[in-house]
Amino acid sequence: MNEPTPLPLEVRGLRKAHRGRPRVSDVSFSVRPGRVVGLLGPNGAGKTTTIRLLLGLVSRDGGDALVLGAPYRELVHPAQQVGVVLDAGGLHPARTGRQHLAIAALRAGVGADRVAAVLAEVGMSQDADRRAGTYSLGMRQRIAIAAALLGEPRLLVLDEPANGLDPAGMHWLRQRLRAFAADGGAVLVSSHLLSDIQEIADDVVVITEGRVVAETTMAAVLADRTGTLEGYYLEVTGTEGVVR
């Protein structure tokens, strides 16, 4: 009997406390092939902590996070299975974008030919030989996304990937993520830009105070009485009229 194909990402009961205060409490959700999932929540809700937990960057107090059926730390070639964007500010200012990607390709165990390919894919070929210290935030973000694509992964995990992108860059990102999913890939994207998530996401997971308060499809969100992702988000998080 054939074993069922594991989901790209399955999070089960993740828990994490800091100095006795819960940061993430019993967080569970999944990301299926061909789907873009928007991870939403107010500042401090636990979105970034959840992402860091599922990538094994911090230890968990309980629960599991399985990437293609295994914990991230047990993946043999993680960069060829999961593309990650956590911080576009991590580029060495003295290195060029091309040099950064060449080092990332070596670490990922992929051929050097992928560097030119992903540079073209993110529209950075002409600026690839400039030092990263001269890049705008949007340009650094494009290089970070290029690094995530190097290993031709099946899952993308992106934390605020639109930071610093101009309207053209945001349009490109939306199109790229939709195309990635249409090709059978899976995407988890955390963002505060609800209008963009409404355009690209198939499913949404909303976290408030470290707990999942909603996991549903975008179709269900838009069929809700509010009629928009913003209205639905404000309703389920209880933040309507709250200034932060």
pLDDT of residue 192: 86
pLDDT of residue 37: 98
pLDDT of residue 215: 95
Cβ atoms of 164 and 140 closer than 8 Å? yes
Element (H, E) at 179: helix 167-182
pLDDT of residue 3: 65
pLDDT of residue 153: 95
At 13, which amino acid appears? Answer: G
Q: What is the mean pLDDT of the chain?
A: 90
CA dihedral over 136, 41, 34, 15, signed as positive or negative: positive
pLDDT of residue 89: 63
Question: From residue 229, how far is each of 25, 55, 61, 96, 206 by CA, in Å?
Answer: 24, 27, 32, 39, 11
pLDDT exceeds 60 at position 1: no
Residues 9-66 have pLDDT tens digits of: 999 999 999 877 888 898 999 999 999 999 999 988 889 999 999 999 999 999 999 9
Residue 87: which of 161, 138, 189, 23 has the closest Cα? 161
Q: Give the pTM.
A: 0.92
pLDDT of residue 244: 43
Residue 25: which of 45, 42, 54 has the closest Cα? 45
At 101, which amino acid appears? Answer: L
Residues 94-134 have pLDDT tens digits of: 999 999 999 999 999 999 899 999 999 999 999 999 999 99
Q: What is the largest CA-CA distance in the chain?
A: 56
